[in-house]
Structure 1
């Protein structure tokens, strides 16, 4: 029996991420696979990871890349506030004329036209960041370089070993990957593209996933995260962004016919359409 559109949507957007979560837990959290990867990057002779103390690598892969998600979130918040400003000034002909003279009116109209998208991005960023910080403090996992496995003083712990729902689990703040999650927060833009039927939405999705994986992998090379921390960050952020998109847009708005199909049909002649 074929699946309905509703079932296909939830299966691909919620079911698959949850399946991936189960696979990551089985393959990484219940085995030594994470440590095997990190062992390849660790030099016992020097007691350092490959790029652990490389200042240039730290700047290029950790400090500068933060600009992209930070600016995206800040611009979305500014745009959302401008959309509210336009609702206020549009009631006054004098204020509108003043903004027109200052050439600010087009910007305010644009923000008002995309008000829902802007507030969605703000909400998705806020929820993703909140969940990541909550999980960090309520699992108390230490980073590899902080543990006795790699020259540190803290015990190696898995996130589920001391998870606490209502209280902080410890001083560790390493699970899920924070830097990776900042890259994955750009997934909010994918759901905006999906809502507007952008033809290149899938390409945008792949690019954002690549950015998140790159952000997380660079921290693995420095010994500040295990590889699974990046996967967990992507799963948490995806579920956050998808949940917010369902709240702000609704499933039908995210699952209408792709733009390329609609455009192709629009280009067909009436006789071709009637022949179907």
Structure 2
């Protein structure tokens, strides 16, 4: 009986340990800092004159009608702009509720990080003076575009189009990395890869509609991952118990 009781207590202890927050090693943050800086440099270079953005967007713009044929496509709007976003949000909500029910601090934190990533992009987007392609003069609109970090023109239009808010709904899945890194690192990195694929796919659907430039989505992914790494580092430093 004593042996059985000891095994039971050990099993409970091990189970509790797997649910606690943990601190990521310092080298992880070093690697991420290097990668994020490198990506920021690359994305800034790609955004320097919007040449790549205009080249990609040009495939989906009809100069004859001065419009984006897929802008009001009901199927694309339903599958990409609505359904995909709602599924991603529901995924985060389920992770939060299930994590709370199981008292899994890691899963709850990861679900909250998903929300943090989307929130950061949403706040940046709300303050942006960059207008969407369909609002620009070059694509039948009235707003004037300008490269990233350039002076804001007087006729910048309605703005609120940078970074890509819709893409962030896919990228936020990367937050689940922090729930599984210690015991199942391969699965953790799979969630990062899944988030990248979803974010780029959902973002490109918006490019096809004329709602965003491609670089808007790249920066959305950058800000989502950056905010998740920083916030997890702060939370784990404060609450993680080794």
1:31 deviates by 4.5
Q: Distance in 1 between matches of 2:157 and 2:182?
A: 41
Q: Deviations over 1:124-158 (max 9, x none)?
A: 13432332122112222100001111001111133
Unaligned stretches of 5+ residues in structure 2: 1-24
Q: Distance in 2 between matches of 1:202 and 1:76?
A: 17
Which of structures 1 and 2 has the bigger CA Rg?
A: 1
Match of 1:27 among 17, 21, 46: 46
1:72 matched to 2:91: yes
Quote the RMSD (CA, aligned, Å): 2.3
Q: Distance in 2 between matches of 1:31 and 1:118?
A: 39
Q: Deviations over 1:200-221 (max 9, x none)?
A: 3223322221111101111001
Q: Distance in 1 between matches of 2:210 and 2:168?
A: 17
Q: Conserved in 2, the CA contact under 8 Å of 1:140 and 1:159?
A: no
Q: Conserved in 1, the CA contact under 8 Å of 2:167 and 2:221?
A: yes
Q: Deviations over 1:32-61 (max 9, x none)?
A: 221121122211012222422211111111
Q: Distance in 2 between matches of 1:184 and 1:199?
A: 18
Higher RCO, Cα 8 Å, sep 6+: 2
Q: Conserved in 1, the CA contact under 8 Å of 2:174 and 2:193?
A: no
Q: Distance in 2 between matches of 1:115 and 1:33?
A: 42
Match of 1:161 among 144, 147, 150: 150
1:125 matched to 2:114: yes
SS in 2 for 1:249: helix
Unaligned stretches of 5+ residues in structure 1: 84-107, 164-168, 254-276
Which aligned pairs between 1:202-213 and structure 2 lie closer than 5 A? 202-213=189-200
1:120 deviates by 4.1
Rate the CA distance shift 1:170–1:151 in 2: closer, same or farther, 3 A. Answer: closer
Q: Distance in 1 between matches of 2:35 and 2:220?
A: 15
SS in 2 for 1:45: coil
**Equivalence for 2:201:** 214
Q: Deviations over 1:159-188 (max 9, x none)?
A: 42358xxxxx97411100011011101111
Q: Conserved in 2, the CA contact under 8 Å of 1:120 and 1:248?
A: no
Q: Deviations over 1:68-87 (max 9, x none)?
A: 2211232344346xx4xxxx
Q: Distance in 1 between matches of 2:205 and 2:43?
A: 19
Q: Conserved in 1, the CA contact under 8 Å of 2:143 and 2:158?
A: no
TM-score (norm. length: structure 1):
0.69
Q: Distance in 1 between matches of 2:123 and 2:148?
A: 12
1:184 matched to 2:181: no
Q: Distance in 2 between matches of 1:196 and 1:68?
A: 26
Q: Conserved in 2, the CA contact under 8 Å of 1:144 and 1:223?
A: yes
**Equivalence for 1:247:** 234
**Equivalence for 2:36:** 17
1:229 deviates by 0.6
TM-score (norm. length: structure 2):
0.78
SS in 2 for 1:43: coil
SS in 2 for 1:160: coil
1:52 matched to 2:41: no
